C-alpha cells in the first residue's frame, strides 16, 4: 500500500493532512525535543560525576542499558497511573479509599512521556559520554583551567561542554531518530487524542480505513521533516550556546559543586530503574493488588505459570534468533574488518550503511523493507524478518568492532609474525583471546538490541513473525496485570543476566 509513496505526493492533500495533524505534530515535537534536551543535560552531569570519581561504577550502566524499553515503560506506567504506586502512597496520608478521578488529560501524559523517555536514554548517552571524556582528555582540561585560577564549573561549562557536545553528535542523532519512531513510549506513556505521530503511523499502517491508509504518505514525510527540524534546532541551539560562551566567557568563581548535581541525578536515575523493577516484580507475584493497598493483597505465581505455559516457545525462539543474529553479524563484521583496511570500498560501504541505518527513522526504514518484500516476492516472511532484525544489529556490531580494532595494539601481531606464526594462526592464538572481553560485550549488545527489537514484528511481518518483546506489548493491553508484569520481567531476564555477568567479571570495556 505504501508503494504509493514512490508514485506521487499530492501537495494539496499533504497540506490538508498537515492541518489536521497539527496538534499531533505539536505534541510530538514538544515532547521529544524536551525529552532529548533533558536527557542530554542530565547525562552530561552524570558523566562528569562518574568520570571524576570512579570509572568502574559506569559499568553498572551497562546493566541499565540492557533494560528493555517496553518493560521500562510498563514499570513507569505502574508508578504514575492514577491508581499507581505514587497515588497509593499519597492515599496513605490522605486516606482516600477510591483513587482520584484522572481529569488532567494531556498534561500529565506529556510530562510522564518526557520523564520516561529522558530517563531511559540517559544510560546510553552516559556510556558513550564517558568514552568521549576519555577522548577529549577531560581531566587535563580541568587541571589546566584550575591552574589558571578558575573554578571547576568554569572549565566544565566553557571548555568541556562544547567539546563534549560536538563529539556526542552521532549518539544524540540516534536518540532523536529513536524518539520519533518509537512506539513503546508514545503508545504506553504518550498522550492520546490526538496521538503522537509515532502512534498515528502504526494506526494508519494497520488500518482498513481508506482515509487513514492514504494518510500514511503524509505521516512518513512529516516524520522525516520532524527529525530534520529537531536535529537542526538542537544543532542551532548548541552552536548558539557555544558562540555565547565564547563571546561572554563568564567565569564562575563560586564553589558550587557540580558533582553534587551529577550525584543526585545518578542516584535518582538508579532508584527509578530499581523502583520500576520492584513494582513490576510485586505485581507479577500478586493475585490481586487493589487500590489503595501498598503491598499485594494475595500472592500467587499464576502470572509466571501462564507465561511459562503459553509463551515459553516464543521466548526460547526469540533467544535463539537473537543469539544467531548477533553471532552472525559478529562473524560478518569481523571478517570484513579483518580482511579490509579502511581505504577499501567494502569498508566504506559498511560505514555508510551502518550510519544510514542508525539515523533513518526505523518505522520508515521498515516500511521500505516491507515494500521490498512485497515487490520482489522472494523468500519467506521469516527470512525477511531475520533480515530486518539483522540490519539493526549490524550498526552496533560494526561501530563497536571498529572501536575494538582501532584500540588493538598491532605490535602483538607483529611479534607473533616475527616468531614464525602465520596470520591465520595469530588471529586465533593472539587476537581473539586478547579481545575476548570486547567480543563478549559486542555479542551481548547485539543480542540485547535484537531481542528488544519491536517494530519489525509490527511493520515487516504484520504480526506473522514476532519476538517475545511484541508479545509483552500485547499482554500489557490485556486484562491481567500479573500476567503482563510477569511477561515484562521475563523479557528483561536474558539480557540482564548477560550484562550482569559482564559486570561481575568487572572488566570496564569501552563501548
Partner 1 sequence: MRFLLFFIIFLFFSNFSNSSDVNFHAWGGSIVINNFISESSKDLKKININLKHTKVPDIADTVKILESDKKNNNFGKGLIDLMWINGENFHRLKKKQLLFGPINTVENYKYINFNDQSLHNDFGEPVEGMEVPWGRAQFVIIYDSDLIHKPPETASELMAFAKNNPGRITYPQIPEFHGTTFLKQIIYELIDNKSILQKPISKCQNTCNPLHELINYLKELHPFLWNEGRRFPKSVNETIPLLSNREIWLTFSFNPSVAANYVKNGDLRKSTRTTSFRNGSIGNTHYLAIPFNSSNKKSSLKVINYLISPTIQAKKANINNWGDPTVLDFDLMNSEQRQMFLKKQNIHILPKNKIPYIQEPHYSWTEAIENEWFKAFN
Partner 2 sequence: MLKCEDISIKNKNNITLIDKLNFFIKESEIFTLTGPSGVGKSTLLKYICGIRESNFFYSGRILIDNNIINEVPTNLRRVGMIFQNDLLFPHMNVIENILFATPSHKKKNFEDAANLLNQLNLEYLSTKKINTLSGGEYSRVCLARIMMNEPKVLLVDEPFSNLDKKTKALTRDFFYNTISNLNCATLIVTHDMEDIYSYDKIIKL
CB nearer to partner 1: give 100 or 250: 100
Residue from 70, 173, 365, 416 binding partner 2 (CB under 8 A) = 416
Select from partner 1, partner 2, none the partner in contact with residue 409, using the beta carbon and a kind-dependent cut-off of 5 to 8 Å.
Answer: partner 2
Phi-psi region of 381 (alpha: psi -120 to 50; beta: other; left: phi over 0): alpha
- What lies within 8 Å, CB to CB, of 156 at 6+ separation is 48, 142, 258
93 contacts partner 1 (rule: CB under 8 A): no
| From partner 1, partner 2, none, interface partner of 418 (C-beta below 5 to 8 A by class) | partner 2
421, with CB counted inside 10 A (0-12, 13-18, 19+), is middle
Question: Nearest CA to 492 among 148, 187, 120, 206?
Answer: 120
Q: Does 462 bind partner 1 (CB under 8 A)?
A: yes
The yes or no reply on residue 421 touching partner 2 (CB under 8 A) is yes
**Minimum distance, C-beta of residue 510 to partner 2, in the bound complex (Å):** 17
> Shortest approach of partner 1 to residue 335 CB, angstroms?
9
Query: Would you say 492 and 107 are in contact if contact means Cβ atoms under 8 Å apart?
Result: no
Q: Which of 90, 206, 351, 405 forms a contact with partner 1 (CB under 8 A)?
A: 206
Ramachandran angles phi, psi of 286, nearest 5°: -105, 150
**Residue 57 C-beta: closest distance to partner 2, Å:** 24
Count of residues that interact with partner 2, criterion CB under 8 A = 17
Shortest distance in whole angstroms from residue 409 CB to partner 2 = 7
Cell numbers at residue 53, please? 570519581
Q: Closest CB to partner 1 among 83 and 417?
A: 83
Asked whether position 147 contacts partner 2 by CB under 8 A, the answer is no
Sole binder of partner 2 in the list 98, 101, 140, 419 (CB under 8 A): 419
φ, ψ dihedrals at 335, nearest 5°: -60, -45
Give min distance, CB of 414 to partner 2, in A: 6
257 binds, among partner 1, partner 2, none (CB under 5 to 8 A by kind): none
Angle between helices 197-206 and 362-376 (to 10 degrees): 20
CB 74 within 8 A of CB 484: yes
Cβ closest to partner 2, residue 328 vs residue 427:
427
Angle, CA of 451, 456 and 460, to the nearest 5° = 155
From the list 238-246, 323-331, 408-416, 451-459, the region that binds partner 2 by CB under 8 A is 408-416
411 binds, among partner 2, partner 1, none (CB under 5 to 8 A by kind): partner 2
Binding to partner 2 by residue 434, rule CB under 8 A? yes
* Footprint (CB under 8 A) of partner 1, residues 383-422: 383, 386
Q: Is 428 in the site for partner 2 (CB under 8 A)?
A: no
Please tell me the distance from the alpha carbon of residue 320 to that of residue 183, in angstroms, as a whole number. Answer: 24
Per rule CB under 8 A, is residue 506 in the interface with partner 2? no
CA distances from 428 to 131, 213, 323, 424, 435 (A): 28, 53, 22, 7, 11
Stretch binding partner 2 (CB under 8 A), from 46-54, 178-186, 292-300, 410-418: 410-418
Closest CB 417 distance from partner 2, rounded Å? 4
Please give the grid coordinates belonging to residue 257.
559543586
Count the residues of the shown chain that bind partner 1, applying the rule CB under 8 A: 54
In whole angstroms, what is the distance from residue 468 CA to residue 474 CA? 10
Q: Is 138 exposed, middle or buried (0-12, 13-18, 19+ CB in 10 A)?
A: buried
By CB under 8 A, is residue 1 in contact with partner 2? Answer: no
480, interface contact from partner 1, partner 2, none, CB < 5-8 Å by kind: partner 1
Sequence-separated contacts (24+) of 254-257 with Cβ below 8 Å: 254/151, 254/153, 255/151, 256/151, 256/153
SS3 of residue 288 by DSSP: strand
Range list of H helices, 285-380: 302-339, 345-359, 362-376
Helix, strand, coil: what percent of the chain each, to 5? 80, 0, 20
When the beta carbons of 108 and 340 are compared against partner 2, the nearer one is 340
Dihedrals φ, ψ of 435, to 5°?
Answer: -105, 20
Instruction: For residue 6, give the C-alpha cell.
Output: 514512490
In whole angstroms, the minimum distance from the beta carbon of 253 to partner 1 comes to 49
Task: Name the site residues for partner 1 (rule: CB under 8 A).
Answer: 81-83, 97-99, 101-106, 109, 187, 191-194, 206-209, 211, 286-288, 290-291, 298, 300, 302, 306, 309-310, 324, 328, 374, 377, 379-380, 382-383, 386, 462-464, 474, 477-483
Task: Name the site residues for partner 2 (rule: CB under 8 A).
Answer: 409, 411-412, 414-423, 429-430, 433-434
Amino acid at each position: 500500500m505504501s508503494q504509493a509513496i514512490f508514485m506521487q505526493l499530492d501537495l494539496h492533500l499533504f497540506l490538508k493532512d498537515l492541518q489536521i495533524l497539527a496538534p499531533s505534530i505539536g505534541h510530538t515535537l514538544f515532547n521529544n525535543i524536551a525529552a532529548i534536551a533533558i536527557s542530554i543535560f542530565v547525562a552530561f552531569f552524570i558523566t562528569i560525576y562518574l568520570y571524576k570519581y570512579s570509572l568502574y561504577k559506569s559499568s553498572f550502566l551497562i546493566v541499565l542499558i540492557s533494560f528493555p524499553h517496553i518493560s521500562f515503560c510498563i514499570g513507569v506506567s505502574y508508578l504514575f497511573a492514577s491508581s499507581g504506586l505514587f497515588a497509593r502512597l499519597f492515599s496513605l496520608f490522605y486516606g482516600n479509599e477510591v483513587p482520584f478521578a484522572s481529569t488532567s488529560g494531556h498534561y500529565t501524559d506529556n510530562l510522564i512521556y518526557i520523564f520516561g523517555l529522558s530517563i531511559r536514554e540517559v544510560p546510553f548517552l552516559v556510556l558513550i559520554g564517558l568514552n568521549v571524556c576519555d577522548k577529549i582528555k577531560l581531566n587535563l582540561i580541568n587541571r589546566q583551567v584550575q591552574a589558571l585560577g578558575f573554578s571547576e564549573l568554569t572549565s566544565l561549562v566553557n571548555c568541556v561542554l562544547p567539546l563534549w557536545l560536538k563529539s556526542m553528535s552521532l549518539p544524540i542523532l540516534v536518540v532523536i531518530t529513536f524518539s520519533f519512531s518509537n512506539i513503546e513510549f508514545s503508545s504506553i506513556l504518550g498522550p492520546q487524542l490526538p496521538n503522537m505521530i509515532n502512534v498515528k503511523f502504526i494506526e494508519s499502517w494497520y488500518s482498513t480505513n481508506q482515509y487513514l491508509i492514504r494518510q500514511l504518505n503524509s505521516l512518513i514525510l512529516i516524520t522525516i521533516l520532524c527529525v530534520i527540524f529537531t536535529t537542526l534546532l538542537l544543532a542551532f541551539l548548541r552552536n548558539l550556546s557555544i558562540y555565547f560562551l565564547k563571546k561572554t566567557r563568564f567565569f564562575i568563581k563560586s564553589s558550587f559543586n557540580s558533582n553534587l548535581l551529577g550525584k543526585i541525578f545518578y542516584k535518582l536515575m538508579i532508584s527509578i530503574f530499581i523502583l520500576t523493577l520492584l513494582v513490576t516484580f510485586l505485581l507479577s507475584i500478586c493475585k490481586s493488588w487493589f487500590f489503595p493497598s501498598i503491598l499485594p493483597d494475595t500472592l500467587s505465581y499464576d502470572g509466571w505459570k501462564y507465561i511459562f505455559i503459553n509463551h515459553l516457545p516464543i521466548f526460547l525462539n526469540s533467544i535463539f534468533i537473537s543469539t544467531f543474529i548477533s553471532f552472525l553479524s559478529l562473524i560478518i563484521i569481523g571478517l570484513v574488518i579483518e580482511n579490509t583496511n579502511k581505504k577499501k570500498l567494502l569498508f566504506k560501504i559498511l560505514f555508510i550503511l551502518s550510519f544510514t541505518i542508525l539515523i533513518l527513522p526505523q518505522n520508515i526504514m521498515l516500511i521500505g523493507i516491507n515494500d521490498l518484500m512485497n515487490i520482489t516476492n522472494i523468500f519467506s516472511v521469516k527470512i525477511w524478518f531475520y533480515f530486518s532484525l539483522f540490519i539493526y544489529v549490524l550498526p552496533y556490531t560494526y561501530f563497536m568492532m571498529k572501536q575494538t580494532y582501532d584500540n588493538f595494539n598491532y605490535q602483538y601481531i607483529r611479534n607473533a609474525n616475527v616468531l614464525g606464526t602465520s596470520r591465520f594462526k595469530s588471529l586465533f592464538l593472539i587476537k581473539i583471546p586478547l579481545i575476548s572481553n570486547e567480543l563478549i560485550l559486542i555479542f551481548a549488545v547485539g543480542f540485547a538490541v535484537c531481542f528488544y527489537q519491536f517494530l519489525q514484528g509490527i511493520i515487516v511481518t504484520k504480526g506473522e513473525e514476532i519476538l517475545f518483546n511484541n508479545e509483552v506489548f500485547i499482554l500489557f493491553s490485556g486484562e491481567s496485570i500479573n500476567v503482563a508484569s510477569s511477561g515484562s520481567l521475563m523479557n528483561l531476564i536474558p539480557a540482564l543476566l548477560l550484562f550482569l555477568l559482564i559486570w561481575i567479571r568487572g572488566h570496564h570495556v569501552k563501548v
